[in-house]
Structure 1
Amino acid sequence: MTIPTPLTGVVPPVCTPLTPEGEVDVVSLLRLVDHLLEGGVHGLFVLGTTSEAAYLTDAQRRLVVETVTAHVSGQVPVLAGAIDMTTPRVLEQVASVTAAGADAVVVISPFYTRTHPAEIARHYRLVAAASPVPVVAYDLPVAVHTKLPADVVLELAAEGVLAGLKDSSGDLAAFREVIAGARDRADITGFSVLTGSELIVDSALAAGADGAVPGLANVDPHGYVRLDRLCRVGDWERARVEQERLCALFGMVRVGDPARMGGSSSALGAFKAALYLRGVIACPLTAEPQVPLSEGEVERVGKYLAGAGLL
């Protein structure tokens, strides 16, 4: 399907359920997609950070996209990450995920080598020229060690190179600069500005963002869809209450012991443990070499779910 311009609403970055052997659990993935669709989400983003795309083989990535796009069958747009180190490798990923049915691709800046903003812009222009579907930029400096400059994003949006931005930078000033530029510049139309934060969706929408890509929406899609709806009708007090409930639920990402695992292992493990406890997926395994949550840590995730009225 053609993605809306701009794309709005809640677009969860879909977790990738795994079997105990570390393979993609297709049955659980389909159940998760149904869980999200029943929650009223406005799109799906597969093969992002929350999807553990960096840990999946190319064959597993292709399987995820094929499974989700076939199952969704045009009900909502499916965006797929084309995550790799350099332009030629990204182009291979673009070819793979679009052949598998993705409606748009989400692309980060080159990484491993340091790149100049002019080289980042060239990267996106080359990807867009080769991509049969719209390209959304993914600003993720924690992974690529390069902040995607607001002026570069706006320049590429004006050229029609980029259809949107998923901002996971944590730089709220630069995020607002993109929002204002996309709103005020006559040469930018239909450009989607999406926050990747679970914690400031109400603030982002109040500032003019088009939507959100919150990993926690895997666990509570109804909550984020409700939050989005409250913001769009201007019921800011009830939106604040809902956002604060979701912020409290997000505390689950810190259940993992930092003495034995990284923050990503803790967060992704918590999301998967929550989905497991809610009966959505069959196994809470995260991909190697991430450290799994302990039984006690999974129990703590359950307490967060109970506190949020989800268990």
Structure 2
Amino acid sequence: MSKEIIGVIPPIITPIDENEKVDEAGLRKLINHCIDHGIHGIFICGSNGECMSLTQAQRDRAIQIALDECSGRVPVIAGCMDSSTQRVIENVQRLEEMGGTTAVVTPVFYARHATQGETVRHFEEISKNTNANLMIYNIPPFTGQNLTADTIIKISKIDKVIGVKDTSGNFPNFIKLLNYFKSSDFLVHQGATNLAVPSMLMGADGYIPSLAPLFPQAHLKLYEYGKAGDIENAMKWGAIVDEICKLYPMAKSQTASTKYAMSTLGFVDKRVCQPTEPITEEEMKRIDAHIEKLRQYM
């Protein structure tokens, strides 16, 4: 296998209408905006895409739209995470029926005493019952389980598992993965944007920044200079990306702040799924002012 899912691959928002149905026109415009500005791939129905707030039908609809609109122009990875192995298998099988090839899978959640061994078995069973490629998604704040580097390495040996998105924020753990998988085809992506610069300089295959569609140039420059080993320029653009990330806490909900920021592009709505705290007028003004300030760097 050659590495194809590399670079800047944002977990894009899922624009919705007043009935919380997927806004197809807005989603298609967002995807084309990403591709037109050089983004390397699309992560649909990730955490930032409110995958667990959408109904199953709407999650599937968003994935189908993404696959259709990308149409092979860039890779699409799709969130198939769920609360049990059988539920994930069904999600991945539906992805396959839609023509998708790569499923992103977390450990199970809402399981009070989940163990590392359970997650290994989780991936073993999914692999036996599906044909899609699988990417490990380590996001302990949402799953309650932080996969160790040793567990990720063990899962990597399971058929069809092709990579990991690590959003643990544990950089020593991430470095251990980079060292282990160096010169292999196994993909190692950084999910914590604040660690993107050192991760790229140390050999990561890419990173997964939620706000990349808003300021694609900055995120792409960080990636390009990081891959080239240009420390000075990677740090320069990394500092700008850090400034962009200050948008996240400007609303009570990071989802609300991200969706409002994306709505300033002009073709998606700021609406969030219930019961997420909606953005306030004061928060919008604060985000508007920061976006205007950020434009000086572009």
**TM-score (norm. length: structure 2):** 0.95
Is the alpha carbon distance of 1:6 and 1:217 closer, same or farther for their aligned partners in structure 2, counting shifts above 3 Å?
same
Query: Which residue of structure 2 aligns with residue 125 of structure 1?
Result: 124
- Tell me if structure 1 keeps the 8 A contact 2:203–2:227: no
Query: Which residue of structure 2 aligns with residue 150 of structure 1?
Result: 149
- Tell me if structure 2 keeps the 8 A contact 1:77–1:103: no
| Matched AA of 2:270 | P
- Tell me if structure 2 keeps the 8 A contact 1:136–1:164: yes
Query: Which residue of structure 2 aligns with residue 105 of structure 1?
Result: 103
| Matched AA of 1:147 | N
Query: Which residue of structure 1 aligns with residue 263 of structure 2?
Result: 276
- Of 244, 249, 255 in structure 2, the residue corresponding to residue 254 of structure 1 is 249
Measured in 1, the distance between the counterparts of 2:158 and 2:124 equals: 9
Measured in 1, the distance between the counterparts of 2:119 and 2:236 equals: 39
Q: Secondary structure, in 3 states, of the residue corresponding to 1:193?
A: strand
Q: Secondary structure, in 3 states, of the residue corresponding to 1:306?
A: helix
1:170-197 CA distances to partner (integer Å, 9 max, x unpaired)?
111111111111117xxxx310000111
- Tell me if structure 2 keeps the 8 A contact 1:125–1:161: no
- Tell me if structure 2 keeps the 8 A contact 1:6–1:192: no
**Where do residues 132-147 of structure 1 align in structure 2 (5 Å cutoff)?**
132-147=131-146
Give structure 1 stretches of 5+ with no counterpart: none
Displacement of 1:145 after TM fit?
0.6
Q: Secondary structure, in 3 states, of the residue corresponding to 1:300?
A: helix
- Tell me if structure 1 keeps the 8 A contact 2:7–2:40: yes
Query: Which residue of structure 2 aligns with residue 287 of structure 1?
Result: 273
- Tell me if structure 1 keeps the 8 A contact 2:132–2:160: no
- Tell me if structure 1 keeps the 8 A contact 2:67–2:100: yes
Query: Which residue of structure 1 aligns with residue 228 of structure 2?
Result: 233
Comparing 92-101 with 164-173, which one deviates more in the overlay? 92-101
- Tell me if structure 2 keeps the 8 A contact 1:5–1:192: yes
Give structure 2 stretches of 5+ with no counterpart: none
1:34-67 CA distances to partner (integer Å, 9 max, x unpaired)?
1110121111111110000010111001110111
Query: Which residue of structure 2 aligns with residue 40 of structure 1?
Result: 38
Query: Which residue of structure 1 aligns with residue 211 of structure 2?
Result: 216
Displacement of 1:97 after TM fit?
1.8
Query: Which residue of structure 2 aligns with residue 170 of structure 1?
Result: 169
2:197 aligned with 1:182, yes or no? Answer: no
Is the alpha carbon distance of 1:280 and 1:79 closer, same or farther for their aligned partners in structure 2, counting shifts above 3 Å?
same
Q: Percent identity?
A: 27
Measured in 1, the distance between the counterparts of 2:58 and 2:234 equals: 38
